[in-house]
Amino acid sequence: MTKKTLGFYLSAISAVLALVSVILYGNVFATSGSVRPLLIVSIVVSVAVLALTAVKGKFPGGNLLPVLSAVLVMGGVASSFGPMANTVVFEALGMYTTTYSQAYFTFVGVGAAAWVVSVIAAFSGIAKKADK
């Protein structure tokens, strides 16, 4: 029998935050085609961790999957920087209103939180053997 650890619950939180960031990315002015797929694959990996841990318990390589999820989330956030660079500069010059960057920075904040939670989940372990 296995016990779920803090990492298991952090993986669930990471999946929810990644889902929220996918939704928030719909409000961003300048978008990239690779951001949503990376975030969606991250959600799938997090859900797979939860499902495998719930069904199988502790399994080999289970702690590496949250690392993969963290890499995918940060890849999505990082690939969103390029399209928004001009918009942020134009706002700094007063050519656009700040509403464009507010939606973007909200997306980046939630995406960064999902990344941090995934990293913590990876290093805290997903499941452990229960003492009998």
Residue 129 has a pLDDT of: 63
Mean pLDDT rounded to a whole number for the chain: 86
Residue 97 has pLDDT above 70, yes or no: yes
Question: If 0-12 CB within 10 Å is exposed, 13-18 middle and 19+ buried, where does residue 33 land?
Answer: exposed
- pLDDT tens, position by position, 8-22: 889 899 999 999 999
- Please give the tally of structural domains in the chain: 1
Chain centroid to CA 36: 11
- pLDDT tens, position by position, 43-74: 999 998 888 888 877 777 777 888 899 999 99
Amino acid at 51: A
Residue 27 has pLDDT above 70, yes or no: yes
Decide which of 3 and 37 is more confident: 37
Q: How confident is the model at residue 127 (pLDDT cuts 50, 70, 90)?
A: low
Q: Are the CB atoms for 12 and 70 separated by under 8 Å? A: no
Residue 128 has pLDDT above 70, yes or no: no
pTM given for the model:
0.85
Mean pLDDT over residues 80-105, rounded?
85
Range of the domain at 35: 2-129
Tokens 């990293």 -> residue: 119
Decide which of 94 and 108 is more confident: 108
In the chain, what's the furthest Cα-to-Cα distance? 66
CA atoms within 13 A on the CB side of 48: 15
Question: If 0-12 CB within 10 Å is exposed, 13-18 middle and 19+ buried, where does residue 85 land?
Answer: exposed
Structure tokens given for 124: 């805290």
From the list 26, 45, 47, 48, the residue with the least C-alpha distance to 35 is: 26
